[in-house]
Amino acid sequence: MHVDLNAFFATAETLRDPSLVGKPLIVAGIGRRGVVSTASYEARKFGIHSGMPTYQALELCRNVIVRSGDYSYYEMLSRSFFAYVRSFSPFVEEASIDECYVDMTKPMIHLEDPETYLKGFQDGLLKQIGLPCSIGIAPTKFLAKMASDMKKPLGITILRRRDLPSRLYPLPIESFFGIGKKTSPRLRELGINTIGDLHQRVETDDPALKETVGKFYFAIKEWVNGFGDDSIDLLPFDPKSIGHSETFERDTADYEEIRSKIAQLSKEVAMGAKEQGKRGSTVQLVIKDTFFKSHDKSVSFHDPTDKEEDIYERAIALYEKSFLGLEIRLVGVTLQNLIKPTQETVQMSLWNYEEYEEMDRTRLLINELNRKMKTPMLKRASEAKKDDHR
């Protein structure tokens, strides 16, 4: 089973402030280089999506509500989500802050009506914690992930191997999990427009396809035929770094082109860090020169960050100091030495930690009461102090 929370960060904001329900809402960075992390389904109707610059989202919908994000709060809700899932099965693999794979063999193997059972799982999560989710059930992790994406929000999809020709193969190639926005145009140039087209090329061991996707070809061959990994990794999901890189169409030494690419990559890294509820204290810049030789430089700092401005400023400074004027073919930005905000030990006494845990319990109680009253009547006193007009 793959469980995917629907518009998690946006949903979390509506739990805290029910007056936001049904309104276009984004959780996004503020400022010139801000980027959308999550968009509510109402905002998506205007064409707003994750990864979009905040200014562009504001142009698409003037009335969109912007929240800068409270990732400690989101992490608290995430812990409640995973605890709920583990009450059904102990075999849970946390894929990110808002999704997981679950081995449901034991609880479901003898069920006569699995869809009713899954509906109960879904309804319970919504009632107890306030989080809507989509569920995919399939024989492999890849198919379960694809199934959960088929119906959103609040979808339940059971995908069997015999269903692949009718339900999986007609989907556009961009929807294939693992094939990104850079690879899909290259596949379309080969005439591969759907997952069914991909399946046909795999069956003939198309050399052009092999060259395009590289080693990923062997995983694709298994996945598209309904096989592949079905094991659950019980180790906690805990990435130590988040990085993105991109190869230029042509080798370049043009400062503006390289600067723009570093800015884009910094946004992607920041968004990934926020989604994982992580902050990092080291930024690494990687470049590959025209001889395919890799070079890297890094800088560490005292206060961990997940802000795109901080990541960009350090990455561009590394470029200007060490690689300015060098002709390059690839550039990458990585945020390293990741920790969760609750793991920060700077000026954190035992009293402060206990206070933080109590704050979590208080927020949960306030959210539950506000949800029952269907209006945001209650808030913590420290939050009320910030609202001078009240």
Active-site residues, by number, are: 99
d(CA 310, CA 233): 33
Structure-block tokens of residue 212: 């395009």
Instruction: Report how far apart, in Å, the C-alpha atoms of 108 and of each of 65, 103, 117, 216, 296 are.
Output: 41, 10, 8, 32, 49
Q: Quick one: which of 43, 55, 49, 53 has its CA closest to 14?
A: 43
Place of tokens 């997952």: 195
N- to C-terminal Cα separation, the chain? 46
φ, ψ of residue 387 in degrees (nearest 5): -95, 85
Given a contact cutoff of 8 angstroms between Cβ atoms, the answer to whether 315 and 262 are in contact is yes
**Do the beta carbons of residue 270 and residue 311 sit within 8 Å?**
yes
> What residues pair up with 389 in beta bridges, in sequence order?
none
E strand map for the chain: 2-5, 25-28, 36-39, 65-67, 92-96, 99-102, 133-137, 156-158, 241-252, 279-289, 294-305, 328-339
- Of 55, 2, 21, 7, the residue nearest 376 (C-alpha): 21
CA distance 13 to 365: 15
Separation between Cα atoms, residue 339 and residue 276, nearest integer Å: 10
Asked if 375 and 367 touch (Cβ cutoff 8 Å), the reply is no
Distance CA 96, CA 336 (A): 17
Neighbouring C-beta atoms of residue 214, cutoff 10 Å? 9
